[in-house]
Structure 1
Amino acid sequence: MRPIVLKLLKQEAVTQIEWQDLFGAVHSVCLWDERGPYKLRDALQQDITMYIKQAQARVLAQREDQALLKAYIAEWGKFFTQCNYLPTPFRQLENSINNISKVAISNTSNALKKNNNNNIEDSLVRKLMLDSWNQSIFVDIKQRLQDSAMKLVQAERNGESFDSQLVIGVRESYGAWARGSERVTVSLPLELEDYIPEVEEFYKKKHSGRKLQWYHHMSNGTITFANSVGRFDLDVTTFQMAVLFAWNQRPLDRVTYENLRLATELPDPELRRTLWSLVAFPKLKRQLLCYQPVVQNPKDFAENTAFWVNQDFALIKNGKPQRRGKLNLIGRLQLSTERSQIEDNHSIVQLRILRTQEAIIKILKMRKRITNTALQSELIEILKNMFLPSKKMIKEQLEWLIEHKYMRRDDEDINTFIYMA
């Protein structure tokens, strides 16, 4: 079985008899060995990983930017093509694993699941291939790919010619393996949120009929941290950014775990993992965040665990604090895409809505009459110690309060609100 799989991965010629033998072998292993489906899946993953490591070596052998991108796109193109072919002989494997894991579900549900497996997009083997590509090659050379692609974009801005397919190819490889990933809820900093409509509008103009998907758990950026010691550029994930920006309006405050969960809307596993990367980063002698009480594991964070920004943070070199520097906090932080409990996330959203409504009514009771701009400023001031409401949420709650007769718009100025007792 293994030689045929390796031939398929390498896009080598496979005879009709070999193709049929692969179907038969998979079918036999899955039906006659109780542990067969899992053994087969593990062996398949080993073969896929081994092939990807060989592809990675071929890509990294390239030193020049354009050659690196060409090599990556060529390897990715071959691999992605096989993502549509290799799952076909392994449908029995997918059916067997699904039936084992869903043994308590009715026959009707199992039948529906089997039908879904015929869809290559939902294939377990296809997802295994794309995830393995991401974990085994993409994570290791992601920064080199981004740097090389951005150099070409910069060259274009300077009037130099370049092959645009190199940048497009890298971008498409991002999107392909991302499609199988589950998106994770996060409340973006207002500084980022304000740009999203502009980006979406630009995308619509360039790509008619397409929809832009945001995968925040796969993105990162650079922020500047300034304190009395100096200024430092920090490469962070979007999740780390969301956590750190919770202190923008209250730099000296101590914020509890529960309030950070409310401010970021991150699922519990992601928030714990992200906070741990900021309080116990192995390369740092002075951590970016401090916390109390001290624990040995992120799972031990309690709702009342307090976190605060380390105002003495600095990069240490030769035993001396540096006034400037750059630090990559992303490192090997594994960002899982575990789905949080739907009820848990729903409760956070509902709590935010209630807090926003309460704050709006409190402001209107005091002011009786207020402009939209002034209302938003006061609202953010009241809520900043818990979370920063998005513009969308503020607008929705204003409309809800108007609809339920708690307030109304001024007849002569729609941007002025009047409290209704």
Structure 2
Amino acid sequence: MRPTVLKLLRQEPVTRAEWQDLFWSVHSVCLWDEKGAPKVHQRLQEDILDFITQAQSRVLSHEDDSSLLKAYIAEWGKFFTQCNYLPKPFGQLEMTLQGKARNTLPKKNQADESIVRKLMLDSWNQSIFSNIKNRLQDSAMKLVHSERNGEAFDSQLVIGVRESYVNLSSDTEDKLKIYRENFEKAYLEATEAFYKMKAPEYLVENGVQNYMKYADAKLKEEEERAKRYLETRKDCNSVGMLTECCVDVLVTAFKESILAECASMITNNETERLRLMFSLMDRVPDGITPMLHDLEEHIVSQGLADMLASASIITTDSELYIEKLLDLFNRFSKLVAEAFNDDPRFLTARDKAYKKVVNDTSIFKLELPYKSKGVCAKTQPESKCPELLANYCDMLLRKTPLSKKLTSEEVEKKLKDVLLVLKYVQNKDVFMRYHKVHLTRRLILDTSADNEKEENMVEWLREVGMPADYVNKLARMFQDIKVSEDLNTEFKDTHRNNNETIADSINIKILNTAAWSRGTDRVSVTLPMELEDYIPQVEEFYRLKHNGRKLQWHHLMSNGIITFANDIGKFDLEVTTFQMAVLFSWNQRTHDRLSYESLKLATELPDAELRKTLWSLVAFPKLKRQVLLCDIEARSPKDFTDNSVFWVNQTFALVKNSKLQKRGKVNLIGRLQLSTERSKEEDNEGIIQLRVLRVQEAIVKIMKMRKRITNAQLQTELVEILKNMFLPSKKMIKEQIEWLIEQKYMRRDEDNINMFAYLA
């Protein structure tokens, strides 16, 4: 058998007859007796070791690294090829040594369990590989080092060495053991040593910003190199470990120096450099956290600085204010998109910071102090943002110069922008209060630019998570208007049949008090005779339609058109009911002069409302000639005294292009006041009172579900429930917890005061 075995080891030609004879000979010897198989195994081992010794001497005859590697790879290549052929004829030997019959052999890959193959690999490992593996590794690492320095060489030399390490292991459980313990380890150590020397020098010489480009380039370069020189099979993580090693030595080691540049880059909007920094820091544990903090600080400081710079304009013009907020949002969103690829962590940081800008009170503290009284005065000042958002919505939905110059699509887009900002408003209940006031005014005065948009807005508010009870009240208002229109038509038809022509000039709106206003909004006033006589007819008509319902007249919310004639011409004046009552005081005495006190007796208006109404007729800002004149030069309604005298301006006229117009229509209503000063205070108190009830309701809901809960957990869950309406203060939460404990809804645990228990 020996000549054929030696031919196979040396890769010399073997005839078919020799190959077949070898199978038969092995089979025959193994069946002679028990000593046959061990003798064949021993002789085979001696010949394999002898061949390896000769191969080793051939390899070691080369001095330089490249020649040594080439010789080793050539010898190993031949030997490894024979590892696949030589074991085949010795199948009987393996079965005999294992004491198994052929038919009981496991149906596995026999090469993995081949005794001869294992013998060949172990012999190579113990003999040549153990003696020269350090030289092989060193030579391979030197070549990789040369490549890192820009020198060219045959990459197959390193790949060949790697493959020999991978294929050498005869351990069936861990095929990569030799590779991992030797080649992989050496490669990682060499890489780390190289960059530990190079990286600090580059940073010192070129600065942080150039170093980031260098580190990024090297990371990509090393990753590609690792894919060539390291094992890439699925059960091996060599490339990942190499990347981690490079990140540690190229990025983590200089994390502080790199991150120190982040704040200035964000301020200067250096998106490309930020993108590079982000890609580097995202590889480092907690590397992103300082960047998130820098982004938040920038958005808050930049946002507040911009708002403060234009505070004098934006606090009085809701359109400019909202446009400014949207501009800031778009600017910060663009920064996050371009610099951080819209990474969710940076989007969260943007939202968190933008929320602080939207809800900040410092800008409005100076310009718009917190004027609420009673309960509200004890709470913290709130941002005016919800109110201004509601004002802006009103400008878009009402017939205004702004809504008229915009297309339907543009109006819709701007309303969606408002809803976008509204997401970041903490106290959405304030927005809803003002939005409802504006909607009430639009529906009563019929000044909506687009009724479909009005109803869409209600649904959009529902979609963005506004509280259902708020939104339902708005929807109810639209239903009321439609029902009222039908009643109004029916009333007119009834009176038209009775030949009462005045019915055509009257429009009544019969609305549900709960959805629209409160009883305190009612103000007493002496109506003109034409209206006063008409009220019983409406009440009788409604009584016949609905038994048991009571009508309450809200003159504060009413308006009409009167014809005003003087020495110059005739003019149609759109006025509130209060303005109408004041002007009708002169109806039978056009040229008389009436004192404030006389007007107070004639109209029966409360002092505050009379002053406000007279001021609108004496100093209406859009008129060059006022309807009423006064004997004092008043700067505000407070300047009027009981003795102040008023009279009708007989030279009143509309002035256009410096010419007097003898005919025309004037709207003196302006922004119809839908609430008195008293009811405004009550509204503010009502917001706080409603919040108190919401907090109580939410606490009871949580306690009923949890039965027992800690103070901290209760507060967390409470904020989560209420955040869509408002953010409850710690003081309010504490007060309501104490109140609920007093009312026996819950109790403190006797052993732990921070633990609460529900009382059924």
- TM-score tier after normalising by the smaller chain length: 0.3 to 0.5
Higher strand share: 1
Higher helix share: 2
Q: Scaled by the length of structure 2, what TM-score is found?
A: 0.27
Higher relative contact order (CA 8 A, sep 6+): 1
Q: Scaled by the length of structure 1, what TM-score is found?
A: 0.47
